[in-house]
Amino acid sequence: MSEAAVTSSGDVLPDGTKGFVEDFSADKQAFQVPWGKAMMWIFLLSDTFIFSIFLVSYMKVRMSTTDPWPNPSIVFGLEVGGVSVPLLLIAIMTFILITSSGTMALAVNMGYRKDKKKTFWLMVATAALGASFVGMQAFEWTKLISEGVRPWGNPFGAAQFGSSFFMITGFHGMHVSAGVIYLLVVANRVRTGFYERRGNNYEIVEVAGLYWHFVDLVWVFIFALFYLW
Amino acid sequence: MAYVSIADRDHEIEHHDDPQTFVAKYVWSQDHKVIAIQYGGLAILIGLFGMVLSSMFRLQLGFPDTFDFINPENYYQFVTLHGMIMVVYLLTALFLGGFGNYLIPLQVGSRDMVFPFMNMLSVWVYALSVVILMASFFVPGGATGAGWTLYPPQAISPGTPGVDLGIVLMLVSLAVFIVAFTMGGLNYVTTVLQARCRGMTLMRMPLSVWGIFMATILGLLAFPALLVSAIMMLLDKLIGTSFFMPAMMAAGEVTEYGGGSPVLFQHLFWFFGHPEVYIVALPAFGIVSDLLSVHARKNIFGYRMMVWAILAIGGLSFIVWAHHMYVSGMNPYFGFFFATTTLIIAVPTALKVYNWVLTLWQGNIHLRVPMLFAIGFIFTFTHGGLTGLFLGNVTIDLPLSDTYFVVAHFHMVMGVSPVLVVFGAIYHWYPKMTGRMYNETLGKWHFWLTFLGTYSLYLPMHYIGFLGVPRRYFAMGNTDFMPDSAITLNTSMTISALIIAATQLIFLYNIIVSLKKGEKAGGNPWKATSLEWLTPDTPPKHGNWGHDLPVVHRWAYDYAVPGAPDDYTPQTVPADEVPVGRDHGVDH
């Protein structure tokens, strides 16, 4: 530090490691970001714990059950033209969700460029991709239910397979659905000029984007730990 | 457009119209002070109910075979609901929802929480969770009697009281409470981090804010474990999954369950449950530091160490949970690990106790009611902390586990101690919240009866715990290992408990009557330095600070600074007018 740091009330702060702490804990605010963004980060940290605990619990019951665990690549396989393709639907769903992260990132960029129209349409595209993900998840649930998979038991092996599957994908699907609604609400406000009137400030698009990327990231973990393992 | 912090924004942009109607002012209020009082009032009400429950089961323990209206079934319901209410619905809600809401914006120099609407939702969702909890008493089968830890399989197996709807409502109520807490908690953390006034660095914040801040972070990271385990137990109960349920017989029949892990629930519960201890303790640590400093007219000893101790305790509290499970069946190496971390956490905690005592050393101690409660806290907390060292060691814990020694330990350390701080804090901030003083004499009676009462209640409890008297038994019957003295002691403990319970009526009378009859307090009756005492109005109005936000130039503990005109220097006084008393740190 070449110059001594000063608080906005005009007091001199110390140097060295103490100065490092003081710098981080400087007055007014710890992070140079809007409140909504800071709060979303903290919320996502809390939500990370929720999903981690879901996944850890799934691993634990997978260990504790005495029945054999069903093979996910067979259970989640699709018949295409008489050939069973393992994990086909899940692969498509994952691809779609990750694509939606891309459109979301573009929407955030367009928001900062104050391009109202492009921001709106990119957010709608993101929401549409999210909705199609939920739709395919509904298809997957229907297929499994028709094959006799229930939360309390299934014909393929351990009952905990169905329990964990419906609970974790259901909880994640709720997050995606809530995200779709959230995105549409924000997109609509972008369209009607709500943010334009409030100082032309589109930071909320980024906050919504944080949530959306988080939901996608969680899916990657669910995909790896539930479907691939 | 660069982001502008609240302290630097133009006042006119930030000005909102004050609510006018009664409903907008006191019911759907978005003012953090009204929300704080709603939170606190509701928490105290439900806490009183929890206290009545404890009197009921104490009657049974002290005078077995005397009262017809207490049968084994509702004995278990009373014990369960007493525990759950006191830990979650009273202490968590009161410290974070009540004091957190009231103190954070005032002590960091903010006009309100960052998202007042969400803050309002938080208190009403909390009210909903209380309603759901209370409803469980009125459903067929009554409330759950599974013990406050709600361990499966017993919690959802036939034979346990409230196995039908009681346990379902309990779990739903907890889930709703967590939603309420999350909405409030995000607000508290964001407000502390992002909405401080000019000059209010993190290292100048009063320790109350530090304690509440860290406790809220713990809550945001620990409650997810409870939420997830509540969801899984609800699924086990309602649709027959087997997350926690092994293959077993219940009431003579083979159940449909199989393959689940009851120990998983214990891990999840205590991953929440242990941080929960510190969610309750850290705000108490913070608040008591402020009370001691103000009423001893001395700066808090080792402010920086106090802050780091709060952070260290918060971090360590996440890696000690399995010390609640030494007898559940665990790899001995795990026991070794968790015993070690448990004893390590005693280091920052002991550091805080030393610092409190050193704050009193050669202070100008005013034994006013808040100070009495603060000093009482040092006694009870040290006491409870020392018995914690016994229980933290695996080999000593094994014979003491599930005896009254455990009950006595956790009541001293996280029951009595935080509650003493709650009382001290209510008396301390009462003049600010209401503009009037409480009655000092009644307050002293309240303190001495409560303080001595708790000792006469819990000291014998350690003794019968050492004798091996197990907790959670409805009646002891004629057992050889239990001498008559244990039975006699139970009777005397019950009488003490009833006296303590009755004493709280003095407290209620005092705070209610003083609302009208108390002397006018003025803005700063304790001559304290922190920002909440410097508001232009008492009680503070909507927006707290009038036209301009305060500007801070020093830490919150400048008492008896050599060369200063008064024995206290408010945080807003510039350093070139009055020297800063701090020996090291921000201000040179």
pLDDT at A148 over 90: yes
User: What CATH number does residue A89 fall under?
Assistant: 1.20.120.80
| Partner-chain contact A9 B264, CB within 8 Å | no
pLDDT at B15 over 60: no
Q: Which residues of B touch A163 (CB under 8 A)?
A: 235, 241-243
Q: How confident is the model at residue B13 (pLDDT cuts 50, 70, 90)?
A: very low
User: Dihedral of the CA atoms B222, B227, B229, B234 (nearest 10)?
Assistant: 170
Residues A78 and A150 in one domain: yes
Residues A12 and A77 in one domain: no
- In DSSP notation, B205-246 reads S-HHHHHHHHHHHHHHHHHHHHHHHHHHHHHHHHH---SS--
| Partner-chain contact B200 A32, CB within 8 Å | no
Q: Which domain holds residue A177?
A: 34-227
pLDDT at B9 over 90: no
| Partner-chain contact B588 A24, CB within 8 Å | no
Nearest to B170 by CA among B153, B155, B159: B155
pLDDT at A117 over 50: yes
The predicted pLDDT at position A48 comes to 97
| Partner-chain contact A32 B3, CB within 8 Å | yes
Q: Which residue has the higher pLDDT, A206 or B4?
A: A206
Which of B243, B264, B271 has the CB atom closest to A163's CB atom? B243
pLDDT tens figures, B552-561: 999 999 998 8
pLDDT tens figures, B135-159: 999 999 999 999 999 999 999 999 9
Q: Which residues of A touch B314 (CB under 8 A)?
A: none
pLDDT tens figures, A163-191: 999 999 999 999 999 999 999 999 999 99
Nearest to B542 by CA among B52, B106, B48, B45: B106
Which of A18, A24, A28 has the CB atom closest to B5's CB atom? A28
Which of B186, B229, B231 has the CB atom closest to A42's CB atom? B186
Which tokens sit at B524?
A: 């700063």
Amino acid at B229: S
| Partner-chain contact A7 B198, CB within 8 Å | yes
Which of B190, B223, B260 has the CB atom closest to A39's CB atom? B190
Nearest to B159 by CA among B172, B146, B170: B146
| Partner-chain contact B551 A201, CB within 8 Å | no
| Partner-chain contact A34 B3, CB within 8 Å | yes
Question: What is the dihedral sign for C-alpha B143, B147, B153, B159?
Answer: negative
Q: Which residues of B touch A198 (CB under 8 A)?
A: none
Q: Are B279 and B215 in contact (CB under 8 A)?
A: yes
| Partner-chain contact A39 B203, CB within 8 Å | no
| Partner-chain contact A43 B182, CB within 8 Å | yes
Q: Which residues of B touch A61 (CB under 8 A)?
A: 242-243, 259-261, 264
Which of A14, A53, A163 has the CB atom closest to B225's CB atom? A53
Please give the average per-residue pLDDT across B268-295, as a whole number.
Answer: 96
- A80-106 in b/e form (b: 16+ CB < 10 A) is eeeeeeebebbeebbebbeebbebbbb
Which of B243, B256, B258 has the CB atom closest to A57's CB atom? B243
| Partner-chain contact B201 A22, CB within 8 Å | yes
| Partner-chain contact B241 A151, CB within 8 Å | yes
pLDDT at A27 over 90: no
Residues A10 and A95 in one domain: no
| Partner-chain contact B115 A35, CB within 8 Å | yes
Residues A182 and A124 in one domain: yes
pLDDT at A81 over 90: no
Question: What is the dihedral sign for C-alpha B474, B479, B484, B489?
Answer: negative
| Other beta carbons less than 10 A from residue B256's beta carbon | 12
Round the average pLDDT of chain A to a whole number and report it: 90
DSSP state of B148: T
Residues A98 and A148 in one domain: yes
* Domain residue ranges in chain B: 367-521, 525-588
Q: Which residues of A touch B196 (CB under 8 A)?
A: 27-29
pLDDT at B6 over 80: no
With a cut of 0.85, is the ipTM above it?
A: yes
A14-18, A139-143, B459-463: lowest mean pLDDT where? A14-18
Q: Which residue of A has its CA nearest to B194?
A: A29
The predicted pLDDT at position B547 comes to 84
Which of A33, A43, A61 has the CB atom closest to B3's CB atom? A33
Nearest-neighbour CA in chain A from B312: distance (Å): 16
Please give the average per-residue pLDDT across B235-240, as a whole number.
Answer: 95
Nearest-neighbour CA in chain B from A28: distance (Å): 4
Residues A8 and A63 in one domain: no
Q: Which residue has the higher pLDDT, A199 or B210?
A: B210
Residue among A15, A18, A35, A55 with most chain B CBs within 10 A, to mutate: A35
| Partner-chain contact B553 A11, CB within 8 Å | yes
Q: Which residues of A touch B10 (CB under 8 A)?
A: none
> φ and ψ at A78, to 5 degrees?
-120, 145
A15-19, A49-53, B354-358, B486-490: lowest mean pLDDT where? A15-19
Contacts of B467 (CB under 8 A, 6+ apart): B481, B482, B483, B486
pLDDT at B289 over 70: yes
The predicted pLDDT at position B371 comes to 97
pLDDT tens figures, B24-79: 788 889 999 999 999 999 999 999 999 999 999 999 999 988 888 899 999 999 99
pLDDT tens figures, B371-396: 999 999 999 999 999 999 999 999 99
Q: Which residue of A has its CA nearest to B241?
A: A152
pLDDT tens figures, B302-341: 999 999 999 999 999 999 999 999 999 888 899 999 999 9
- B83-101 in b/e form (b: 16+ CB < 10 A) is bbbbbbbbbbbbbbbbbbb
Please give the interface size between A and B, counted as residue pairs whose CB atoms are below 8 Å apart: 173
The predicted pLDDT at position A40 comes to 96
Residues A22 and A99 in one domain: no
Please report the beta strands in B265-384, taking only residues with DSSP state E, as ranges in sequence order: none
Residue among A42, A43, A172 with most chain B CBs within 10 A, to mutate: A42
| Partner-chain contact A30 B202, CB within 8 Å | yes
Q: How confident is the model at residue B4 (pLDDT cuts 50, 70, 90)?
A: low
Please give the average per-residue pLDDT across A8-20, as a whole number.
Answer: 69
| Partner-chain contact A42 B190, CB within 8 Å | yes
Residues A130 and A210 in one domain: yes
Which of A33, A43, A201 has the CB atom closest to B1's CB atom? A201
B20-24, B30-34, B121-125, B426-430: lowest mean pLDDT where? B20-24
| Partner-chain contact A12 B220, CB within 8 Å | no
Which of A28, A34, A159 has the CB atom closest to B259's CB atom? A159
Residue among A51, A57, A60, A69 with most chain B CBs within 10 A, to mutate: A57
Please give the average per-residue pLDDT across B496-504, as a whole number.
Answer: 97
Longest dimension (CA), chain A: 76
A24-28, B103-107, B458-462: lowest mean pLDDT where? A24-28
- The rounded percent of chain B whose pLDDT value lies above 90 is 80
Q: How confident is the model at residue B12 (pLDDT cuts 50, 70, 90)?
A: very low
B25: burial class by Cβ within 10 Å (0-12, 13-18, 19+)?
Answer: middle
Q: How confident is the model at residue B128 (pLDDT cuts 50, 70, 90)?
A: very high
Q: Three-state secondary structure along B53-78?
A: HHHHHHHHHHCCCCCCCCCHHHHHHH
Say how many domains are in chain A: 2
Nearest-neighbour CA in chain A from B451: distance (Å): 38
Q: How confident is the model at residue A96 (pLDDT cuts 50, 70, 90)?
A: very high
Residues A106 and A195 in one domain: yes
Q: Which residue of B has its CA nearest to A54?
A: B228
- The rounded percent of chain B whose pLDDT value lies above 70 is 96
| Partner-chain contact B187 A27, CB within 8 Å | no
Amino acid at B402: D
- Distance, in Å, from the CA atom of B243 to the CA atom of A144, rounded to the nearest integer, reads 20
B477: burial class by Cβ within 10 Å (0-12, 13-18, 19+)?
Answer: exposed
| Partner-chain contact B182 A25, CB within 8 Å | no
Please give the average per-residue pLDDT across B93-120, as a whole number.
Answer: 95
The predicted pLDDT at position A56 comes to 96
Residue among B111, B194, B257 with most chain A CBs within 10 A, to mutate: B194
Residues A40 and A60 in one domain: yes
Q: How confident is the model at residue B584 (pLDDT cuts 50, 70, 90)?
A: very low
Round the average pLDDT of chain B to a whole number and report it: 92
**Pairing label, strands A78-80, B253-254:** unpaired
Residues A85 and A169 in one domain: yes
The predicted pLDDT at position B587 comes to 44
Three-class SS of residue A79? strand
Contacts of B395 (CB under 8 A, 6+ apart): none
| Placement of tokens 């914040």 in the chain | B205
| Partner-chain contact A21 B203, CB within 8 Å | yes
Nearest-neighbour CA in chain A from B6: distance (Å): 8
| Partner-chain contact A39 B115, CB within 8 Å | yes
> φ and ψ at B143, to 5 degrees?
-70, 165
Residues A19 and A55 in one domain: no
Q: Which residue of A has its CA nearest to B552?
A: A9
Residue among A13, A23, A25 with most chain B CBs within 10 A, to mutate: A25
